[in-house]
Amino acid sequence: MISFSPHTVLDELIVRAGGENIFHDASAMYPIASSETAIERDPEIIIVPESYMGVSQAQILESGPAGALSRLSEKAVYTQ
């Protein structure tokens, strides 16, 4: 899973929208996080590039790590 740090435009957009990047403490600009780390941080939403391997919202929620996120629902998976 690729995320982004506080040194990126995407992090700034999340903050301006009132959100919090679960990888805001990352030192690398685009950290590669393990599924376990994402599950531990338990995000409320996930933003996925629309072309991300042709995967639908439902498939993301049913697959491995996303299915283990307690606060996540289909309404919280967004494609851009």
The verdict on residue 39 lying in a domain is no
The verdict on residue 23 lying in a domain is yes
What was the pLDDT predicted at 46?
75
Total number of domains in the chain? 2
Nearest alpha-carbon partner for 48 in 78, 21, 74? 78
Cα–chain center distance at 24? 12
Q: Which domain holds residue 28?
A: 1-33
Model pLDDT for residues 9-64, shown as the tens digit of each residue: 989 988 998 989 989 898 889 888 887 787 788 887 777 666 656 666 666 666 65
Q: What is this structure's pTM?
A: 0.61
How many beta carbons lie within 10 A of that of residue 44, not counting itself? 13
Would you say 21 and 47 are in contact if contact means Cβ atoms under 8 Å apart?
no
Q: How confident is the prediction for the chain on average, in pLDDT?
A: 75
State the DSSP code for 34: -
The verdict on residue 38 lying in a domain is no
What was the pLDDT predicted at 56?
64
The answer on 25 and 54 residing in a single domain is: no
The verdict on residue 54 lying in a domain is yes
What was the pLDDT predicted at 69?
61
What was the pLDDT predicted at 43?
80
The verdict on residue 28 lying in a domain is yes
The answer on 48 and 24 residing in a single domain is: no
The verdict on residue 56 lying in a domain is yes
